[in-house]
Amino acid sequence: MRRPLDSAPAPGLLDQLEIDLACFDGHPDTAEAFAAAGVRARALAAAGGGGDEALRSAALAYAADALTGLKLERALPQSAVSELVATVASALGCSTEAASLDLFLRAASSPRLLELPPLVTVELQLSLLVALAPISDISLWSGGPLAELGCMVHVGDSQPTRRVRNVARATLDGVPDGGVNERGWIHSVAVKRWQQPYAALVARARPDCRERALVFLEEAAALLAPVLERNMLLERNATRERALVDSGERRLLRLGYDLHDGPIQDLVALATDVRLAGTQVAEHVDGPARAVVSGRLDDLSAQIVELDRTLRELAQSLEPSSILECSLSDVLRREMESLEARTHIRATLDLAGDLDSLTASQRIALYRIVQESLTNVREHSGANEVRVQVHSGERGTAAQIVDDGRGFEVAKTLIRAAKRGRLGLVGMGERVRMLGGSFDVQSSPGGPTTISLVLPRWQPVATTAEPLLV
Question: Angle, to 10 degrees, between the axis of helix 263-284 and the axis of helix 210-261?
Answer: 30
Q: Is residue 417 one of the residues assigned to a domain?
A: yes
Q: Which candidate, 105, 141, 51, places its Cα nearest to that of 215?
A: 105
Is 354 inside any structural domain? yes
**pTM to 2 decimal places:** 0.57
CATH code, domain carrying 377: 3.30.565.10
Residue 357 lies in a domain: yes
396 by DSSP, 3-state: which?
Answer: strand
pLDDT at 376 (0 to 100) = 87
Does 144 reside within a domain? no
On whether residue 305 sits in a domain, the answer given is no
**Within 10 Å of residue 419's Cβ, how many Cβ atoms?**
8
E-only strand ranges, 161-204: 186-193, 196-204
* DSSP secondary structure string for all residues of 321-366: HHHHHS-HHHHHHHHHHHHHHHSS-EEEEEEES-GGGS-HHHHHHH
Residues paired with 296 in a beta bridge: none
Specify whether the CB–CB gap between 285 and 293 falls below 8 A. Answer: yes
Residue 433 counted as domain residue: yes
CA-closest candidate to residue 24, choices 62, 72, 81: 81
Neighbours of 97 (CB within 10 A): 12
Taking residue 150's Cβ as centre, other Cβ atoms within 10 Å add up to 16
Per-position DSSP letters for 83-104, written without gaps between them: HHHHHHHHHHTS-HHHHHHHHH
Length of the chain: 470
Domain that holds residue 372: 327-461
Q: Considering the domain boundaries, does residue 367 fall inside one? A: yes
Rg for the chain (alpha carbons), in Å?
A: 31
Decide: helix, strand or coil at residue 448: coil
**Is 454 domain-assigned?**
yes
CA 61 centroid distance within chain: 26
H helices then E strands: how many in the chain? Answer: 16, 9
Task: List the one residue out of 436, 375, 426 whose CA is nearest residue 405.
Answer: 375
In the prediction, which pLDDT does 3 show?
38
Cβ neighbours of 406 (radius 10 Å): 15
CA distance 159 to 157: 7
Number of domains in the chain: 1
Low-confidence ranges of the chain (pLDDT < 50): 1-10, 461-470
